[in-house]
Chain A
Amino acid sequence: MIQFDNLSKRYPGGFEALRNVSFKMDAGEMAFLTGHSGAGKSTLLKLLMLMERPTSGNLLINGKNLNRLSNSQIPMYRRQVGVVFQNHQLLLDRSVFDNVALPLQVSGYPASEVGRRVRAALDGVGLLDKEQQKPMALSGGEQQRVGIARAVVHKPRILLADEPTGNLDPQLSTEIMALFRRFQSVGVTVLIATHDISLINRMQLRIMRLEDGELTDDGGGYGGY
């Protein structure tokens, strides 16, 4: 589903955020991406979101080379991807419902369909009763779950998460990981960038480690750190 092929990213100014990164993820696979701040995790996710373009190398999604997508095709590509942001990027002047509905409205779903799917997604994260509230009225964990509902409401084939458990307590983190597991079980490819060691240790999952832009470790199992 996701294939990095000898990919490098150098920013103007000479900083090399990623160096010859190669890996593959199958459909329905779930993996952690870890490493220190500045090791290249965010850059890797940005490349997957087409917020950045690689300097060299190829990035293939479902066999399609993203380098060949023109700027006008980017929106169509992004509709296949769901992203959970570290700072959850919710629109504070809109209700929870409207926030989650955004990816569907953007894709042109009619209102009736939007309502049905948004409620299904909110039900999935256990926030069905909060749909009319504004994000500010919710707790940190709830906001993060709204962000997850928005990331999956349009049934993406790829789910990316950037520090999804950033400032949550262990119990909430576990709940959120359980949510990701559920999406994986219906065939979504899930990639979670995190440096939450305890979280990684609790889950038996593939771990990819970035160090100074290079992929130094790619393997499964316990205590990959």
Chain B
Amino acid sequence: MAATDNNRDANQRGASGQKLSFSHRWRGYKSHHRTTLRTSFKKMLQEPLQTILTVMVIAIALTLPAALYLTVDNVQQLGSNFESSAQITVFVQKGAKTEAIQGLEQQLTAMPAVASVDYISAQQALLEFKALSGFGSALRYLEDNPLPAIFLVQPRVEGEIDLGETKKVVDAISGLPVVEDVQIDMAWLQRLHSLIEMGHKIVLALGITLGIGVLLVIGNTIRLAIESRRDEIIVVKLVGGTNAYVRRPFLYTGLLLGLLGALIASIMLFSCLLWMSSSIENLASLYQSQYRIEGLGVGGFFTLMLLGAVFGLGGAWIAVSRHLRDIEPR
């Protein structure tokens, strides 16, 4: 070959196909990714029905578990709103001396797990009872005040309620002198907690099931795309295209489908919340609550997009690794 080098024209000089500098290669690689992304997108637009169907299936499959997750999340928020009412009522022994009661108050306040302590004397309790119950006149026939003095103890809660911790506080208070009884309504808190836990499990199960569905749907769409580009794949392989090169457009298609699905799922969730929020605000105002429904948020949005991307790429990868091997030039 060397002897004929001089005859080569300018275009041919030094043009052994394999010698490409790294920066050339890198530029070629980057521009190839750009064009692949663009052509993948164009191909999707060329078959709008197939694309819309796939994207909608993905969107619905992502919306369902996400909506359930948001519901559970909101119930949890609601639950933690009620935690303020998870106060401990400490009944003081009847006839306890004022000093003993003061001592108890100091001991309660000193406990690290206690946020605040309110003292309601027997007289105060009686007045309140008279005012609220409507049995005021009946109480006049009683010789002395039947009500005990009580302390309303607010446990210190950080983040989620820890029922074990609360129980410990209750036990500790029971052991204090002049304490007659300690009450806390934990049963409904426990029920709420197990409900939320169950909700989380349902979200997970639903998410996994529908996730597999998304993988299959994307896999099938990609399989069809591979089938329709069979000739192209063969030619690309014949002129020296690597498997990675052949795979790339399909992976991009899967990624785009997943991202579009996630985007539409976010829009559907957002619209649902918008639609529901006014009635929820009405309901909350009836309960004199400041409760507001929590949406997806920026973090949730990106998580959903990430999930869409992962499912899209994953489904495409499965299809590509199963079907591209079969397509070899013969």
Contact = CB atoms under 8 A, between A and B. Distances in A.
Interface in A150-186: 150, 154-157, 185-186
Given A51-B330, A76-B240, A116-B11, A102 B235 contact: yes
B239 A78 contact: yes
Interface string B54-77: 000000000000000000000000
A53 to B, nearest CB: 12
Contacts of A49: 238, 329
Provide the main secondary structure of the chain B interface: helix
Contact of A103 (B28, B31, B239): B239
B24 A110 contact: yes
A51 B328 CA distance: 8
A200 B126 CA distance: 122
B31 A111 contact: yes
Contacts of B288: none
B290 interface: no
B32 interface: yes
Interface string B5-32: 1011001100111101000110111011
A117 B12 CA distance: 9
A157 B19 CA distance: 13
A89 B238 CA distance: 10
B20 A107 contact: yes
Given A102-B236, A155-B17, A187 B1 contact: yes
B128 interface: no
Interface size class of A (residues with CB under 8 A): 35 or more
A223 interface: no
Contacts of A20: none
A91 B24 contact: no
B242 interface: yes
A123 B25 CA distance: 25
A109 B328 CA distance: 24
A193 interface: no
Nearest to A103: B239
A69 interface: no
Interface string B136-177: 000000000000000000000000000000000000000000
A67 interface: no
A111 B16 CA distance: 18
A75 interface: yes
Interface string B228-267: 0001101111111111010000000000000000000000
A83 interface: yes
A83 B234 CA distance: 13
B29 A28 contact: no
Contacts of B235: 89, 91, 102
Q: Which 9 A-B pairs have the closest CB atoms?
A: A187-B1, A79-B240, A78-B240, A108-B28, A120-B11, A103-B239, A154-B17, A106-B241, A110-B27
7 contacts: A78-B239, A78-B240, A79-B240, A89-B238, A108-B25, A109-B28, A113-B28
